[in-house]
Amino acid sequence: MAAKTDFTPDEWKLLLESVMMSGIAVTAADPSGLWGTLKESFASAQTMASGKAGSSDLVKALVAEFETSEGRTIARDGVRDQLKGSNPAEMTAKSIDTLRRASALLDAKAPGEAADVKAWLRQISVNVAEASKEGGFLGFGGIEVSASEKATLGEIDAALKV
């Protein structure tokens, strides 16, 4: 069972950032306006919190870290520093790169829990993609998951190797 103590501070920061980036990648792929972005943010937070009920101790440790002010600050500041000045396409690319690096780290340092953590990160992305219809007007029309979001989910799958 992997724990926070199995990772360097920079590695742990990368894992925390990957949790946030899993949702940001999809949101940036096809921005949904104010209400859509709020729905997507809520879906990300809900899915992240659902990790407490899972079987992976590492996922539970990451969720617990987000429950602390210090953990949230580390993740938020790291993501902000990486994405500062980026347009949506760059944000998506940088998010996917973060997920790729986190995947490699998990494979190397937590092979027994890597699949569970990656599945959780992927589920965050999927739930964000499904949270808000794209292309509609005032809640009418639109599609559940846009082509851009589907393509980004494919890139996330490749980055996470799931």
For the chain, give every domain's residue range: 7-160
The pTM score is: 0.90
pLDDT score for 135? 60
Q: Show the DSSP H helices in the chain as ranges.
A: 9-29, 33-50, 57-66, 69-83, 88-109, 114-131, 147-160
Q: At which residue do the structure tokens 């659902």 appear? A: 50
Mean pLDDT by 10 residues, the chain (162 residues): 93 98 94 80 91 92 96 97 96 98 98 97 96 64 80 98 94
pLDDT score for 134? 60
pLDDT score for 103? 98
Phi-psi label, residue 135: left if phi above 0, alpha if psi -120 to 50, beta otherwise: left
